[in-house]
Amino acid sequence: MSSIAINSSIDLSLPDWLKKCLKGIPANSGEADDERRHSDTALICRAFEFAYHLHQGQFRKSGEPYIYHPVAVAGLLRDLGGSPAMIAAGFLHDVVEDTDITIEEIEERFGPEVRQLVEGVTKLSKINFTSKTESQAENFRRMFLAMAQDIRVIVVKLADRLHNMRTLQYMSEASRRRSAQETRDIFAPLANRLGIWRIKWELEDLAFKYLEPEAFRQMQQHVSEKRTAREEKLAKATEILQERLQQAGIRCLDISGRPKHLYSIYQKMQRQQKEFHEIYDLAALRIIVQTNEECYRALAVVHDAFRPIPGRFKDYIGLPKPNRYQSLHTGVIGLTGRPLEVQIRTMEMHHVAEYGIAAHWKYKETGGSSSSHLTGADEKFTWLRQLLEWQSDLKDAQEYLDSVKDNLFEDDVYVFTPKGDVVPLSPGSTSVDFAYRIHTEVGNHCAGARVNGRMVPLSTRLQNGDIVDIITQKNSHPSLDWLNFVRTSAAKYRIKQWYKRSRREENVARGRELLEKELGKTGFDSLLKSEAMQSVAEKCNYHSVEDLLAGLGYGEITLNLVLNRWREVVKAQQPVTIAPPFLPKESTATTKTPVRSTDSPIVGVEGLVYYLAGCCNPLPGEPIIGVVTRGRGISIHRQGCHNLENVEYERLVPVGWNPAVENSSRPQTYAVNIQIEALDRVGVLKDILSRLSDQGINVRHAQVKTATGQPALMDLGIDIRDRTQLEQVFTQIKKMSDILNIRRVGQIDE
């Protein structure tokens, strides 16, 4: 195999496994050096060479050549037992994003399997997990879809994230905190769900270091101070157990102390409200034997050598965790009277505990990548399949995020069927959740439940070890009340689906009623038939407005989400930009009757209900702004109106006057209230009305207030075409010698 020409000006400290590859020696040189192994080694070397030359001249924040990062990621994947394609993807995971190379070129050079992995990681790299609910939900959907297409994609991403966290000290403070928070909230729980404890614990400790640096330093100091004494105690306990196991004829492959990780100790302190000196089990003894039977025999030896602590035994061999973790856990009183945790497992269980999903790579059995896709037999991916089954049907972002937390971030409780089958459920689940977990029809026809032989309410929370027997009846069906107490997203989804199918007309009517209360009855039928409302339905992933109403009626989508989409559609139709910034506040003034906007004088409300606000009576020629109201459509205000001072920005709609309507042969008039202050003399009102009549101005109403020794105050309501005509009226009236002041009445600074 030809050597790779590396730029001699850069001193690359490559790991030994990669050096062997570059020399043409298989990474696992102790095994048979067959043709396939040479081919795998060639793929890894070509990927490294390609990445090296593409990243040449690029440097990380630390000042190191950028190639160090992909080399580190590839090394982590190799340690996890990744295939040559995964290791190659580790080298190449940044080239599409950071260079001019296309994903098609990756496939041409390295094949479809590497292309799929690189493309998946590239898409995940563009995900930004913001705190905004809808954005975060969409990012989760994209990530789980990528995982479903090839579960190895997320493992490559985890390796990428781990090395970035290891070098996070070179980033800015804001970047460090953002990355650490994402790691704690998303990537560490993902590593836990996939069972990759080796990555999970390090990610948690690194996130802890940057999110709570003072607490992290204190934990380091506390653990360091007690390390010597702790190691001596563990050594003595190890010696005792080795001797006892040997006497019992149990072959112990390994027995060693395992210090607990800093973040796990800190979590325990927070959870139990204890100080560090009150936490005794800072380390655990791990015993590795050959068979499952020897695990239980070893447990008896441990309990004979040390006094067991009641309630501290957990059998994860008989009841594995959802991520396939298996082990026996027990708590005993150690030599000094302090609690000691002991874990007992086989070597295979230990490998799964450390490497999780990586210990089950199907490609090792089949030699292909297709097995990385989810199949019905992949029980370890049940949680992911459940998310994918209904993720496209869950329209509400918060509901989807709740389903993610159910399946990703929480441990399960285990209950039994009457036949003894184990059923994992989310904490707080009820008999209804259990019924739907068994089968959809069992849930739909659930009429009652027995737990441990006793009839209980369907809302009863299930506990570990409960035996649950569901009573079904043909005429029974789901109740909407169930939604108030079911815990799992699967149960909530299937209850809603039943109502969706069986009571569509009722749901449409209920959805219509909910929406009508918000948008108002006037013109509501026309609004439902408008293109704007059809756009709202499509934005909410429904084919028609009727489907949208049905979804709203049975709770598949929330009213707030529909209203948010409607506001987006309204704003998208506006060609007019908002003039100078102002501080809005919701109007409480008397409003006028809403009108439909066919040939509307207002641009930007086509197909929608609107009205001119009575608080400021806007006129053509004046800058205006629309406000989405509750129940009456869009209120049109003059910009600067005092009633807009605290209106949320999301409710504002850019609007403007329609020049075509303004310049028509029969221009529309608008009501304006004015107030005139004049010397109190006989005939002054008559003279003012005469001036208005000369200009063709219609007077709607007039009211005069007088007081002895005070000027007369006259409130007039007049019809005006536009701002220009109003200014002309003011000019003519001001010319009268008796006029002291004239102003427009409206909550705005003139």
More confident of the two residues 532 and 346: 346
Q: DSSP readout, 351-367? A: HHHHHGGGGG-THHHHS
Query: How far apart, in whole angstroms, are the C-alpha atoms of residue 185 and residue 73?
Result: 21
Question: Does 641 lie in the same domain as 629?
Answer: yes
pLDDT digits (tens, 9 = 90+) for 171-220: 888 889 988 988 887 788 888 877 788 888 899 999 999 999 998 998 88
Using 50, 70 and 90 to split pLDDT, how confident is the model at 231? confident
Q: What is the per-residue pLDDT for 626?
A: 87
Q: DSSP readout, 236-255? A: HHHHHHHHHHHHTT---SEE
DSSP β-ladder status, 634-638 and 609-612: parallel
- State the amino acid at position 507 in one-letter form: N
The tokens for 242 are: 């080795």
Q: What is the CATH number of the domain that holds 428?
A: 3.10.20.30
Domain span at 621 = 573-662
Using 50, 70 and 90 to split pLDDT, how confident is the model at 510? confident
Question: Does 162 lie in the same domain as 29?
Answer: yes
The answer to the question of residue 374 being in a domain is: no
pLDDT above 50 (res 270): yes
Question: Does 559 lie in the same domain as 584?
Answer: no
Query: How far apart, in whole angstroms, are the C-alpha atoms of residue 20 and residue 40?
Result: 13
pLDDT above 70 (res 432): yes
pLDDT above 90 (res 333): no
Question: Does 337 lie in the same domain as 265?
Answer: yes
Question: Does 428 lie in the same domain as 285?
Answer: no
Between 163-167, 403-407, 552-556, the lowest mean confidence (pLDDT) is in 403-407
The answer to the question of residue 618 being in a domain is: yes
Question: Does 187 lie in the same domain as 54?
Answer: yes
Q: What is the per-residue pLDDT for 346?
A: 93
Question: Does 276 lie in the same domain as 262?
Answer: yes
Residue reference for tokens 């991916």: 381
549 with 508: CB under 8 angstroms?
yes
The tokens for 643 are: 């009633």
Q: Which residues are catalytic?
A: 97-98
Question: Does 168 lie in the same domain as 59?
Answer: yes
The answer to the question of residue 5 being in a domain is: no
Going by the DSSP 8-state scheme, the letter that residue 187 receives in this structure is I
pLDDT above 50 (res 262): yes
In what helix (H) or strand (E) does residue 619 lie, and over which residues does it extend? none
For 230-242, b/e burial (b = at least 16 CB within 10 A) is beebbeebbeebe
pLDDT above 80 (res 327): yes
DSSP β-ladder status, 712-720 and 454-456: unpaired
Q: How much helix, strand and coil, in percent to the nearest 5, is found in the chain?
A: 50, 15, 35
161, 187, 208: which is the final residue of a domain? 208
The answer to the question of residue 194 being in a domain is: yes
pLDDT above 70 (res 435): yes
Q: What value, to the nearest 5°, has the Cα angle with vertex 184 and ends 180 and 189?
A: 145
Q: What is the per-residue pLDDT for 585?
A: 35
Q: What is the per-residue pLDDT for 57?
A: 85
Q: What is the per-residue pLDDT for 611?
A: 84
pLDDT digits (tens, 9 = 90+) for 640-655: 787 777 777 677 888 8
- Across 432-455, average pLDDT: 92
Q: What is the per-residue pLDDT for 82?
A: 83
Q: What is the CATH number of the domain that holds 302?
A: 3.30.460.10
More confident of the two residues 91 and 359: 91
662, 684, 713: which is the final residue of a domain? 662
- Across 25-53, average pLDDT: 69
Question: Does 101 lie in the same domain as 77?
Answer: yes
Question: Does 33 lie in the same domain as 164?
Answer: yes
Question: Does 125 lie in the same domain as 195?
Answer: yes
Question: Does 598 lie in the same domain as 550?
Answer: no
pLDDT digits (tens, 9 = 90+) for 589-639: 334 444 444 567 888 776 677 888 888 888 888 888 888 887 677 888 888
43 with 62: CB under 8 angstroms?
no
The answer to the question of residue 216 being in a domain is: no
The pLDDT mean for the chain works out to: 78
Q: What is the per-residue pLDDT for 373?
A: 45
Cβ neighbors of 118 (< 8 A, separation 6 or more) are 89, 92, 93, 95, 96, 103, 106
Query: How far apart, in whole angstroms, are the C-alpha atoms of residue 639 and residue 636?
Result: 9
Q: What is the per-residue pLDDT for 686?
A: 85
Using 50, 70 and 90 to split pLDDT, how confident is the model at 415? confident
Count of the separate structural domains present in the chain: 6
More confident of the two residues 274 and 447: 447
- Across 298-325, average pLDDT: 86
The answer to the question of residue 10 being in a domain is: no
The answer to the question of residue 4 being in a domain is: no
pTM: 0.55
pLDDT digits (tens, 9 = 90+) for 643-702: 777 777 677 888 888 876 555 556 688 888 899 988 888 888 888 888 888 888 888 888
Q: What is the per-residue pLDDT for 256?
A: 84
Q: What is the CATH number of the domain that holds 31?
A: 1.10.3210.10
208, 241, 262: which is the final residue of a domain? 208
Q: What is the CATH number of the domain that holds 683?
A: 3.30.70.260
pLDDT digits (tens, 9 = 90+) for 239-254: 999 999 999 999 888 8
pLDDT digits (tens, 9 = 90+) for 362-379: 333 334 444 444 443 344
The answer to the question of residue 213 being in a domain is: no
Q: What is the per-residue pLDDT for 434?
A: 93
